[in-house]
Structures are given as structure tokens and as C-alpha cells.
Amino acid sequence: MRIAYLDTIAGISGDMALGAFLDAGVSLDNLIGELAKLRLGGFELTAQHIERNSISAIKADVVISEAPKYHRHLADIHAIIDKSDLGASIKERAKKIFSEVAIAEARVHNSTIEKIHFHEVGAIDSLVDIVGTAICLEELKIDRVYSSPVKLGSGGTVNTRHGPMPVPTPATLEILKGYPVVLTDIPFELTTPTGAAIIKALSSGTLSTEQISVERIGYGSGSRDIPQIPNLLRLVVGEYQSSFDRDSVVSIETNVDDMNPEILPYVVEKLLNAGALDAYMTPVVMKKGRPGILLTVLTEETKMDAMLALLFRETTTLGVRIHRLERRKLPRGQRRLDTSLGPVMAKAVVIDGQEILVPEFEECKRLAKEKSLPLREIYRILESEFRQ
């Protein structure tokens, strides 16, 4: 699997990301040519080699010749991207990054993603940074993005169109909720909302001891000299040598001992229908020897609020415990197969490079009803044919 690893030596911003990709071998001419498909105009993308702490890097800059005279909403930005001639995966990645910014800005300003309008992030330079990053990932044929824990400054302020903001800015912190960060004592904005959104939207998590076969390295430079550290973002492109997929999930758990137990299976069903990755009940003995149920929900970070709302509405719980976890899992998917019982959807799992097909319960249940056969016989037939 070909990966891009973003090492946030001094945080990350949009222009640092572009600089790192260009230093790793992305063609500036090709990048400019792809960006022209946005049909934006009013900007020029430049890149120059500089040194930070005796390390050669590229400083990318978006030079604005004509700034837009109005604010853009998320729908406006999506429309610009959708109407372009860019590839589908580039569009998808770029819109995913902008959506992360919109969600964070809406929470910070107590608004909605439909109403929020972009200032710095909606400007042409951030459109170029975000869409340009998506273009670079496509040119380097990156399958997956990872990063180090994200470096953040603290103790300083940064000027925005809303006035002075503390470092890290509220939007940057909101975007990175649930993602590993390092809070430094450097009083500068190391990570911008654009940089934070690039990592939050695209990264599959952090790496520590995994084996990577390094192919390319690129350094993107920030704008200022920082006494404490080199103001650089390092990009490592290579092959990730692992047979496991990985992601991050949120575990929500609560103890319940004062409600009708007949209701709990209904709650589990509603949680799963609402998009929980899993929901299950464990019998426990609580204080004073009372029997109770430990209700656990596994969910993606983006669906956590919906799960919490459902738990508080449907159960008697007054509070929950939240844990953020890393998962390792086997690569999996679905395949449609022709069998003696007819077309069947099977779960495809890859173990040590070998694909193993597993019957899906709902498919077996459907066939048992259609064929008037015992469920165990359906399993036996399918497992035998799958092995062949």
C-alpha cells in the first residue's frame, strides 16, 4: 500500500503541504495545469527552494491578484469543485477537507454548515492549497495518508478577520478533536485550520513502529524562522508493509440498572440503524449488589453526537464514558457471487494476502426462506462452494 506520511515537525499549513509535495517530486507545471481546471483565476502559484536550519525545502506561495468580493459558503465551494474537470477522487478528497472546516467553524460560531461562510479558508489561496493537496496525492498515487501527532503552538495570538484569536485557534482545535496532538510552548500558529483539516479529513491515524519502505522525501517550509525548531513539514512517500487496515473509533459506554430490560434490545437496534459500528450489552453487578447492564457503543467520531443524543433520549442514563481507540482490522469487502442457490453477497476477508469468502448471515437467512431449507444447510452449501 502506497502511503503519504506527514511528519509535522513544526505543524502543518496548506502552503507547507504543497511545498512538501513539490519537494517530493510533484511537477509544479502539472499542479498549475490541474488547478487551472477550477477556472478560478486571480492567483499565481509560485515555489522556491530555501533552507531552514540547513535543510533544503520548498516554500510554496499563492499570490493573489484579484480577491473575491464576497464570502463563500460550503455549497459555493463544492459547486466550484464539482463543476471543474478534475478527477473524481480529487474532488472527493477536496470536498472532504472543506467539510471538516465547515463543521468546525459552525460549532465555533454556533451556526450550521449551511449558513457558515468562509473567511481565510474560503479565500482563493485556501482553495488552491486544499485542492492542490488533493491533486498532489493523486499524482503520487497515494492510497492512504498517515501523520505524526500534530504539533500546535500555544500562548500567542494570530490576527484573523474576526480579530485576534488565541493560538491554537478555536477552529484548529475543533477540527483536531479526537486526533493526537502535541501542545508546545511555541507562541506561533504552527498548525492552521487548513492544515488541521487536511490531516483530519485524509489521515488514517498516526504511525509509530510500522515498517515503511521509503521512496521519496519532501520538505515544505513555513513563512518564518522559529528559534525552537525547523519550520518544516516533512513528507515521506513509501510502501506501508502491513497486512492490517487501521482506523480510529470512539467507544461510548454507560451502566444502566433502573430501566425495563426489554427496552435495551430496541435501543441497540436503533443505535445500529443510526450508524453505530457495533452496540452490545454486558451483564454487570453494580453497587449494592444490584444487577445491571453495561451498554457499549462503537462509532466513528463524526457520528458520536448522534449516538449520545440517542442514548440520552432512549435510556435512563445520566452520563456516559467516552474512550478513543485505535483499531487494527483485516482488509475486507463484499463480493457478489453466482452459486447453486443463486446470486449471493459474500464477505471477502484478506489474510496474509489470501482472500477468504465468508457467507453473510442476512443472505443465508434470505436463502433459507426462499429455498425452504434449514439455515445450517445454507451455510454448509455456501461454505463448500466458497472454498472451491
What CATH number did the domain enclosing 255 receive?
Answer: 3.30.70.1380
89 pLDDT exceeds 60? yes
Q: Which helix (H) or strand (E) holds 137?
A: helix 124-139
On whether both 144 and 266 belong to a single domain, the answer is no
Evaluate whether 86 touches 35 at the Cβ level (below 8 Å). no
Q: Which value, to the nearest 10 degrees, does the dihedral of the CA atoms of residues 152, 153, 155, 161 take?
A: -90
pLDDT tens-digit series, residues 24-54: 999 999 999 999 999 988 889 999 999 999 9
Taking residues 167-172, report their average pLDDT: 90
Judge if 256 and 309 occupy the same domain. yes
- The percent of residues in the chain predicted with pLDDT above 90, rounded, is 67
Pair 60, 85 in one domain: yes
Question: CB pairs under 8 A, 24+ apart, for 268-272?
Answer: 268/295, 270/310, 270/314, 271/297, 271/307, 271/310, 271/311
Q: Is there a single domain that holds both residue 20 and residue 108?
A: yes
Domain boundary among 196, 216, 243: 243
pLDDT at 69: 58
Quote the pTM value: 0.66
Look at the chain and report how many structural domains it folds into.
Answer: 3
Asked whether residue 278 falls in the same domain as residue 354, the answer is: no
Angle between helix 124-139 and 88-108 (nearest 10): 140
| Per-residue pLDDT reduced to its tens digit, 227-265 | 999 999 999 999 987 667 778 899 999 999 999 999 999
The residue that leads in pLDDT, 212 or 27, is 27
* Amino acid at the residue 317: T
Q: What pLDDT is stored for residue 72 in this prediction?
A: 78
Which of residues 197, 220, 243 is at a domain's end?
243
Residue after which a domain boundary falls, among 243, 275, 295 = 243
Query: Would you place residue 71 in the very low, low, confident or very high pLDDT band (cuts 50, 70, 90)?
Result: confident
Specify whether 90 is located in the same domain as 200.
Answer: yes
Query: Is 277 in the same domain as 366?
Result: no
Q: Phi first, then psi: what are they for 283, rounded to 5°?
A: -65, 135
> Among all chains, which residue has been given the C-alpha cell 481565510?
120
How many residues are listed for the chain in this entry?
Answer: 388
φ, ψ at 254 (rounded to 5°): -150, 145
Q: Is 100 left (phi over 0), alpha (psi -120 to 50) or beta?
A: alpha
Q: What pLDDT was estimated at residue 17? A: 98
Reply yes or no on whether the pLDDT at 103 is more than 70.
yes
Both 309 and 261 in one domain: the answer is yes
**Residue 355's domain spans which residues?**
332-387
Model confidence at 73: pLDDT above 90: no
Q: How much is the average pLDDT of 283-311?
A: 93
Same domain assignment for residues 266 and 213: no
Among residues 303, 323, 307, which one has the least CA distance to residue 315? Answer: 307
* Closest of 231, 245, 247 to residue 325, by C-alpha: 247
